[in-house]
Structure 1
């Protein structure tokens, strides 16, 4: 049994704590927040093996440059004269290649499928009651060009063994009959499931605390002491902690802490927004509005509209233009649905940690023997949360990992 400290109490941190606890380790979780907000709470709730194409793909950087001065664009990269940002941008641009996509497809699919299935396993094993629906995910398209692109990706997914259907508009209406839709057609990923994130997070926190895992909220790790390539202690404002093993799962803040260890973890915060509506809108199927890159999820007691990727440093500012963009896009696809000012005013955001190549960082860095890094999942953190937690536990428990970890190595070169 090892004494383990997990830095970060989001989905990755809690799942790491869960699996470490299951292996019999003594676990403490430390988080700088109240652990009730952020990306782990405001995401679309998808468990989506369908998202096999990494964010860094051919043409994405070109689009990002074109959209740089458009505040309503799906991807907004704010230029900054900051060395970390410039290094990340260079590496991201370099990763926008066919080679990166081909390398990433299997690596993303494997960890995403494992992650999806582990949610079901946890729900069964612990008698959790969080929403877990296996309806699939619609990629709804308004133009022939986008429909062709989505069909192409769908056929790649089929080759990877994922069940996918191409739908005409009439077939789409049969699946989603109770709401007006403006679309040409859709691609249905039958492999995808969906959840309500808040419910899972609340149940997991309650389970961990009841099981003897110590959780320290509102404690920010300010310093890390290292001797002979090993962390000897970490320090918050008022307390010092020692442990045998440490897990860095601090999301978008992970690279700030990694610097204290001499590790150059290329990572940018990608802000996403969400609007909730508690009205009965008639939507029963999770969907991505493809041209607008907006996610729609029917959750427990409300429907969530989420989207945008805003790379502009670590901040929680709510850009009302981008909130309005989500609302306007929603009405273009669902003409009868107009999100109210009250719903838009209650919009919140979360910061997703984005690596340059679209793959997470999972594993030990050569710079520190007793540190396991688990971050950089971008938009797939929710899908990969459980599988990442399991992999972290296997690494620390000296077990053979469930997956080949080479593609996720934190010391990989870009």
Structure 2
């Protein structure tokens, strides 16, 4: 029986563990945190086949520059002299092309549909017990003709590639989701999407893995690697040294720093997102994206979550109150009789999402080491793509034909 070490215990790392268990691996997960917070816990809980347009798309860099000095803007890049960030920004700008979008669309659609199917299988299997998995779709709510026109173009493209989507009349929208602001002009309803409660699934997945004898090394930070030729022989942490037949690097926003220790450059920048949980009755019936504000709203089990923003400011623990306030204000601007309290804003948390320069994840082996696989760079789709990534990594390690073509996710692709 082979041993595998997974560096990172977010949804991607845990999903890798889940599917590698099915292949009879002995598994150890190492994580620098206590696995109680971060991007896998504070996200919007969406399963999003509809999100076919990568973050690196035409006009995004211009928006980033425009909003650079507005720290409450939806897409904020903090100006800083950091070589990794400058190189990433250059590659992101090169990737923000129509050609990149066209190449990415089928890949994003296929991996999202695969992951949604795997979440469904996980739910139906009962292995984790009961958890929220609701297939009510996702509303894209818009207040301006400009955003409406843009989203209708995306919806048309989504329809063309076989996704279930519908443009709603105001009367249809108000039936599905009452108590909306009169300023809302309409919505696109992506019926292909679903939603979950991430904290619920993460807790149940950890419990299941522990019962299956997966070893968790928490509050333990990987500091270095011992190499021998084209193999990683040992992982050195602040608490010990470990060896395994296979290594999976699923360390999210910390992946670039770790990969540089072994002569690789897995280019990612941490994209900070925030969430506010409201544990009381709200008007929210269906998951929705508030388009002008770039905020996500999700009716989860026991609470409603308001989440959003993309803040590229490096790895740090700073919660920017102005960004939390912008999410709270957006909630009031789109829903009638909804005010998020000061206490609820003070309880806001953040997560760091690993963003690659072209908006696609890194999934697969490297050519430099024959026992290393990469599983990171999922940007805002980490939650949605967790199970699919875990399944694909298990197929890579066992030399099985992958469930989909993963050439576009090559960790060593050039930008």
- Report the TM range for the smaller structure's normalisation: over 0.9
Q: Show CA shifts across 1:49-70 (max 9, x none).
A: 0000000000110111001011
Question: Match of 1:232, SS?
Answer: strand
Task: State how far apart, in whole Å, the 1-side matches of 2:213 and 2:247 are.
Answer: 18
Residue 387 (1) aligns with residue 388 (2): yes
In the other structure, the counterpart of 2:266 is 265
Residue 361 (structure 1) shift: 0.4
Q: Show CA shifts across 1:158-180 (max 9, x none).
A: 01100000012211101012555
Normalising by structure 1, we get a TM-score of: 0.99
Q: Show CA shifts across 1:36-89 (max 9, x none).
A: 100000000000100000000001101110010112211001122111111101
Q: Show CA shifts across 1:101-120 (max 9, x none).
A: 00000010100111111011
Question: Match of 1:222, SS?
Answer: strand
In the other structure, the counterpart of 1:82 is 82
Residue 92 (1) aligns with residue 92 (2): yes
In the other structure, the counterpart of 1:339 is 340
Q: Show CA shifts across 1:201-258 (max 9, x none).
A: 0000000000111111111111111111110000111211000000000000011110
Q: How many residues are treated as equivalent by the alignment? A: 414
* Contact 1:316–1:350, Cα closer than 8 Å, also in 2: no
Task: State how far apart, in whole Å, the 1-side matches of 2:155 and 2:381 are.
Answer: 18
Distance 1:143 1:178, change over 3 A: closer
In the other structure, the counterpart of 1:278 is 279
Q: Show CA shifts across 1:140-168 (max 9, x none).
A: 00011111110110000001100000012
Residue 182 (structure 1) shift: 3.6
5 Å matches for 1:351-362? 351-362=352-363
5 Å matches for 1:263-412? 263-412=264-413
* Contact 2:272–2:311, Cα closer than 8 Å, also in 1: yes
Task: State how far apart, in whole Å, the 2-side matches of 1:384 and 1:2 are.
Answer: 25
Task: State how far apart, in whole Å, the 2-side matches of 1:398 and 1:40 are.
Answer: 28
CA RMSD of aligned residues (A): 0.9
In the other structure, the counterpart of 1:111 is 111
Task: State how far apart, in whole Å, the 2-side matches of 1:280 and 1:179 are.
Answer: 15
In the other structure, the counterpart of 2:2 is 2
In the other structure, the counterpart of 2:241 is 240
Q: Unaligned stretches of 5+ in structure 2? A: none
Normalising by structure 2, we get a TM-score of: 0.98
